[in-house]
Amino acid sequence: MSPEVEFDRVAPTYDETRRPPSETELDSLVQLLSGCRSLVDGGVGTGRFAAPLHARGFEVLGVDLSVAMMRRAGTKGIIALVRGDLRRLPLRDDAVDAAFTAHVLQLVAEPAAVLRELGRVARHKVVVLLPERPSRGPGDARVEFYRRYRALAQELGYSLPERGPRFWHTFDDLRAIAPPSEVRVVEGQPPALSEEAIRRRAEAGGWFVRGSIPPEVHQEILRRLGTENVPDRSWWKGPRLERFIVWEPSALREMG
């Protein structure tokens, strides 16, 4: 499934099935973008980062392949939106002060192409937000949980669409492409959820489901998982670590 099709499909429930940025993450990002006013948010999605950055005085231009996701961003006040591929940004050289992207590089096989484009359009800084995550190979708790959830949903008559491929590039992978000028690791404790947010999350099928599962079916799947020897979701409950990587645009433009 192509990224735009996948994210068009999940756009209506995307915000309800993702943890919002923490104040720690946002404060760190604003500090790293010091001296910049205009920026492109590559892979803006529903504006989860763009909206709070806009509220803090940044002029944000959002770029994404998914029109449905950008419509959600538009409802949050992000009006400068362009449909485009991050590997071939529809922007002139030095178009903005800074370029930023969060949780997007895992969708592309060759991150160098995206970094080069971000460096081309930014005058002063390129900032990438990279989640700190363990490997997700065979036997990984998340992989096994998702696999059994999908299988039980199928047994109950609900076929969940397959996700597109994910490429979990590490920090070492990215710094091998071009040495960064600054790196900052932050611990972002997600905000507490309201009862309404919990209800909407359940209606969307939980944090981890890429499809529409009725709440009662979702609860039945969780009940069955609880009787099996399936890894629990403790990997989801704790603080979230994020790594901000900053490059000088010239370092990315000069890549071979």
pLDDT at position 188, please?
A: 58
Structural domain of residue 224, as residue ranges? 136-163+193-236
Distance of CA 242 to the CA centre of its chain: 11
Instruction: Dump pLDDT digits (tens) for 2-42.
Output: 777 778 887 887 887 777 888 889 999 999 999 999 999 99
pLDDT at position 141, please?
A: 65
How many Å apart are CA 56 and CA 2, to the nearest integer? 33
How many Å apart are CA 56 and CA 43, to the nearest integer? 19
Quote the tokens at residue 242.
Answer: 């994020």
109 with 47, same domain: the answer is yes
- Helical residues (DSSP H) of 84-242, grouped into ranges: 111-121, 141-155, 171-177, 195-203, 215-226, 234-237
Sign (positive or negative) of CA dihedral 153, 158, 159, 165: negative
pLDDT at position 194, please?
A: 56
pLDDT at position 20, please?
A: 81
Cβ atoms of 39 and 33 closer than 8 Å = yes
User: Which H/E stretch holds residue 252?
Assistant: helix 249-253
Instruction: Dump pLDDT digits (tens) for 153-170.
Output: 889 988 877 667 777 788
Which pTM does this prediction carry?
A: 0.80
pLDDT at position 235, please?
A: 47
Residue 245, strand partner residues: 128, 183
Question: Could you tell me the CATH number of the domain that includes residue 185?
Answer: 3.40.50.150
3 with 27, same domain: the answer is yes
- Assign residue 132 a region (left: φ > 0; alpha: ψ between -120 and 50; beta: otherwise): beta
156 with 98, same domain: the answer is no
11 with 126, same domain: the answer is yes
Sign (positive or negative) of CA dihedral 38, 186, 76, 73: positive
Cβ atoms of 212 and 16 closer than 8 Å = no
Structural domain count of the chain = 2
Q: Show the low-confidence residues of the chain (pLDDT under 70).
A: 1, 132-143, 162-163, 188-212, 230-240, 256
209 with 100, same domain: the answer is no
Residue 127 backbone phi and psi in degrees, to 5: -120, 125
232 with 253, same domain: the answer is no
pLDDT at position 223, please?
A: 86
87 with 29, same domain: the answer is yes
211 with 253, same domain: the answer is no
97 with 208, same domain: the answer is no
